[in-house]
Amino acid sequence: QAPLLPLYTLAKTIINKRKFAMSSMRPHRLFVSLISILILVSCGSEPAKFADVDSQRLLNAAATPEEWLTYGGTYDEQRHSGLDQINTGNVAQLGVAWTYDLATERGVESTPIVVDGVMYVTSAWSVVYALDAQTGRELWLYNPDVDKAVGAKACCDVVNRGVAVWKSKVYVGVIDGRLEALDAATGELVWSKVTVDQSKPYTITGAPRVVKGKVLIGNGGAELGVRGYISAYSAETGDLVWRFYTVPNPNKQPDGEVSDSALKDIGNLTWGDEGAWTTDGGGGTVWDSIVYDEVNDSVIFGVGNGSPWNRDHRDAGKGDNLFLSSIVSVDAATGAYKWHFQTTPGDNWDYTATQTIILADLPMGVEGASRRVAMQAPKNGFFYIVDATTGEYLSGEAYVPQNWAEGLDENGRPIENPEARYGDTPFMQNPGPLGAHNWQPMAFNPELKLVYIPAQEIPDYYATDRLFEARSQKWNTGTDLAAGLPMDLDLATALALRATLKGRLIAWDPIAQEARWSVEHSNAWNGGVLSTAGGLVFQGRLEGDFAAYNAATGAKLWSQNVKSGAASGPGTYEIDGQQYVTITTGWGSAYALAGGSAYDQPVPPIVGKVVTFKLGAKGAIPDPDLVMALRTPKADKFGDQAMIQLGFDKYHFNCRVCHGPLAISSGVLPDLRWSPISANVDVWQSIVLGGVLSAKGMVSFADALSPAEAEAIRAYVIKQAHDGAALEAEVAALMAAQGATP
C-alpha cells in the first residue's frame, strides 16, 4: 500500500484539469451588487456606522476580540484572539455558516478585517469586497481595474493580503502600485495615489496598516529589480508624509527623504562602489510585515532580498548590503531611523526578512523581568528574538533543518557554510528561495508563550549565471534557474523530487528556542495560523484541509475540507454573542506558480471563497467542477538534442517562474504542454515575441529571446508534453494494477 499515496498524488498532478468561465460571473455580480444596495436602502437594515476606527480602538484591539481591526489582529500582530466560545471542548461541532465566491481563479492571501458587523476582504487583482460578516451578503465590491499586463511584474501571483480601515475609509494597496482610499459604506473611491514609478517592475501585494492617521505601505519587485522603500501617507488626504528607502541609490546620494542619514552613516558603508545596482535597484522591498510598537512609538518593518539575488552580480565589494534582509525600526511620526537587525548579511539566496514580525512581552530581561521583544522566523530558517526598544539581538536558533550556516554567533550573525556562496557548481541548499517560512502569517499565544510557525522544507539548487545581464521588466536573479533540474522526468525522479519536500506546523517555544510540538503536513506549502483563547490553533493547508489543533499539544481536534487552497491567515470575530472563524481560499501564489506542480500535488484551480464557520452550523461547500482526463501533445516532437537543450535553458530562465519548472504548470497559468498554441510556430512566435496576449499578462519576450530561441523553447515544451503523456499513462496503469482510480 505504501506507494499508493504518492502515486495517487502524482496522478492528480498530471491529470487534474478544470473548466471555469469566469467572465460570465461579472454581470451577475454587478446585478447582485445593485440588488443588495436596493435591499439595504429599502429595509434600512444597514449598519449604523462603517469602519468607525480610530487610534483608541486600534490600541484597544486586544481587549475587543469580537472585531478584527488590523491585518495581524492587533498592532502587536500576534494573531491571538481572546474569544473562547469555540474551544477544545466543542470545536468538533464547528460547521460552515456561510461561503462567498470571490470570483477569481488566481491566488487568494487575504486576511479579512471585521469591524462594526462588516467584513472587508480582498482577492486577486486587488479587488475589495464588503460583506455582512454575519451572513456573507455582499454590500459592495470595488474593482481597481488593473491593466492585466501588470501581472508579468508580479513575481508571486497577483495576490493581495488585505485592507486597512480607519475613520470610515478602507485602504487597499493595488498590484500596479496605487494606494487607494474607499468609502467604507459604499466602496466609492475617495482618493488614489501612485506610490511607485510605474515604468519599473514594482507591485503591491501587502496589506496597508494605519498608525495615528498615517497609512503605511511598501511594495515588491526585487526579483525583477527595484529599489525598496516604505511610505507613510496621510489617511485623510493621501499626501506623502515620509518615505524610508532601505538601500542606497546608485550614486549613494541623498534622496531628500528621511532615510538619508541612516543610509549615509550605515547603509552606504556596506555597499561597494562598483558592480552594484546592475538592475533598477538593489532590492530590499518592504512587501509584507509592518508592525506598530505603541510602547516605543516605532514602526518596525521587514526588508526583503537583494536584487539580483546573486551578490557577486549585485555588489563586487561583497558587503553586507544594508538594509537588505533586515528588521528595521523607525519613528512612527517622522520615519527617522532607530535601529536595525540584519538576519542575512550579504544576501545571496532571496532570504527575505519580510516574514511576520510579532511584538510581545517575554521574561527575557534581568532576572526574568519582562522585556518587550520582536520575533521573526524569516526565510533563512532561523528564529530570531530582538529587543523591540534597541534592536539588540537576544537569541536565535534554526527552526528547520538547514545547511547554509553552522549556526549563529553571539551577535546573531550566521556562521556561513562556504559552499553556500555558490559558483558554477549547483549547490542544493535548504532553505531554497521559497524560504523556510514565507508570507503565511504565524501566530503567538501569550498565555502558553508559544509561537506557531507555518514552516516548510523546499530545498533548491543555486548556481551562478555567468552570462547574467539585467533585463528590464524581467526576472533578474543572477542565478541559473535551470540548475539541478532533470532534462528527462521519469517516475522515479518525480517521486524523489517529491520526497525532498516537507511542511509542518511548529509550536515554537521562543524562550527555550526549541519546538514544543509539530504537525507534519503532506504538502510543503502550508497555511497561515490563528491562535485563540479557546486553547486552539487554526491552520489551513494547500490541499484544502482547514484544521483546529490543541494549542498546548498539537492534537488535531477538527478539520473540514474547504475544497480549495487554504493558505491565508484565518480570523475570528463575534456578532450577537456568536463566535465565527473565517478563512479566504483560492489556488495560486508563489509556490503554485514557481514550483508547485512539478514537485507536489496541486489543488485544481477553483474559484476563491470566503468560508466562515460557527458552532452547530451545517452549511456545505460545493464540489469543484473537475474534469479528469489523460491529455495528449498537440504536435509531433521536433528538434535535435542541442535545440532541446537550448529550449530547456531558455525556458527555465524566461518561463519557469510563471508556467512551472519542467514546463509543468500548477494550473494557475496555462500548462504550455497541452496548449494548442504549442502546435503552431506562427501563433507561438506571435505570442512569445509579438506580445499579442499582453493584455492578459503574457507580455512580449522579444527583448530577451530570438526567434530561434523561442522555437527551441517550443521544441522543449513539445518534448515535455510527450514525456508527460507517457508518464501519465504509466501512472494510470500502475494505479489500475493497484485497484485505484484517479
Catalytic residues: 350
- Grid coordinates representing 51 are 469602519
Task: Give the shortest CB-224-to-Ca ion separation in angstroms.
Answer: 10
| Whole-Å CA distances, 204 to 160, 211, 635, 662 | 8, 19, 39, 28
By beta-carbon proximity to Ca ion, the closer residue of 280 and 350 is: 350
Paired sense of beta strands 571-575 and 578-585, if any: antiparallel
Provide the total of helices (H) and of strands (E) in the chain, helices listed first: 12, 39
Question: Exposure string (b/e) for 199-212, b if CB count within 10 Å is 16 or more?
Answer: ebbbbbbbbbbbbb
Closest approach of Ca ion to the CB of residue 568, in Å: 19
Ranges within 32-91 binding Ca ion (CB under 5 A): none
In the bound state with Ca ion, the residue whose beta carbon lies nearer, of 278 and 305, is 305
Grid coordinates representing 481?
534557474
The helix/strand/coil state of 450 is: strand
d(CA 234, CA 241): 6
Applying CB under 5 A, the site for Ca ion has a residue count of 2
Q: What backbone phi and psi angles, to 5 degrees, belong to 156?
A: -135, 40
Least distance from Ca ion to the Cβ atom of residue 250, Å: 21
Q: Closest distance between Ca ion and the C-beta of residue 203, in Å?
A: 11
Continuous segment of H or E residues that includes residue 261: helix 260-262
Contacting Ca ion within 348-367 (CB under 5 A): 350
Closer to Ca ion by Cβ: residue 350 or 457: 350
Report residue 67 CA to chain centroid gap: 24
Instruction: Give the integer Cα–Cα distance in Å for 217 and 289.
Output: 10
Check residue 220 and report its DSSP letter: B
- Give the C-alpha separation, 357 to 378, whole Å: 9
| Contact pattern for Ca ion over residues 247 through 286, marking x by CB under 5 A | ----------------------------------------
Q: Which is nearer to Ca ion, 438 or 700 (CB)?
A: 438
Distance of CA 657 to the CA centre of its chain: 14
| Strands 326-331 and 298-302, bridge-based pairing | antiparallel
Q: Is 203 in the site for Ca ion (CB under 5 A)?
A: no
Distance CA 70, CA 61 (A): 9
DSSP string, 115-177: ETTEEEEE-GGG-EEEEETTT--EEEEE-----GGGGGG-TT-S-----EEETTEEEEE-TTS
Task: With beta carbons less than 8 A apart as the criterion, state whether 432 and 422 touch.
Answer: no
User: What is the smallest separation between the CB atom of 307 and Ca ion, expressed in angstroms?
Assistant: 8
Cell numbers of 49, please? 456606522
User: Residue 508 — φ and ψ, nearest 5°?
Assistant: -105, 125
Preceding peptide of 323 cis, ω within 30°: yes
- Provide the minimum distance between the beta carbon of 572 and Ca ion in the complex, in angstroms, as a whole number: 30
Q: Judged by CB, which is closer to Ca ion: 305, or 526?
A: 305
Considering beta carbons, is residue 396 or 433 the nearer one to Ca ion?
A: 433
Work out whether 305 is an interface residue with Ca ion (CB under 5 A). Answer: yes
How many residues are given for the chain? Answer: 742
Nearest to 376 by CA among 17, 78, 703: 78
**Residue with cell string 508624509:** 241
Cβ proximity of 119 and 131 under 8 Å: yes
Please identify, using beta-carbon distances, which residue of 217 and 710 lies nearer to Ca ion: 217
The partner residues of 414 in beta bridges, in order of sequence, read 408
Question: Which residue number, 305 or 589, has a Cβ lying nearer to Ca ion?
Answer: 305
x-or-dash pattern for Ca ion, window 210-249, by CB under 5 A?
Answer: ----------------------------------------
How near is the Cβ of 199 to Ca ion at its closest, in Å? 21
Stretch that binds Ca ion, among 18-26, 95-103, 300-308, 403-411 (CB under 5 A): 300-308
Does residue 418 have a cis peptide bond before it, meaning omega lies within 30 degrees of 0?
no
Say what angle helices 4-15 and 707-737 make with each other, to 10 degrees. 140
Buried b (16+ CB within 10 A) or exposed e, 352-371: bbbbbbbbbebebeeeeeeb
Cell numbers found for residue 562: 474547504
Report the interface residues with Ca ion, using CB under 5 A: 305, 350
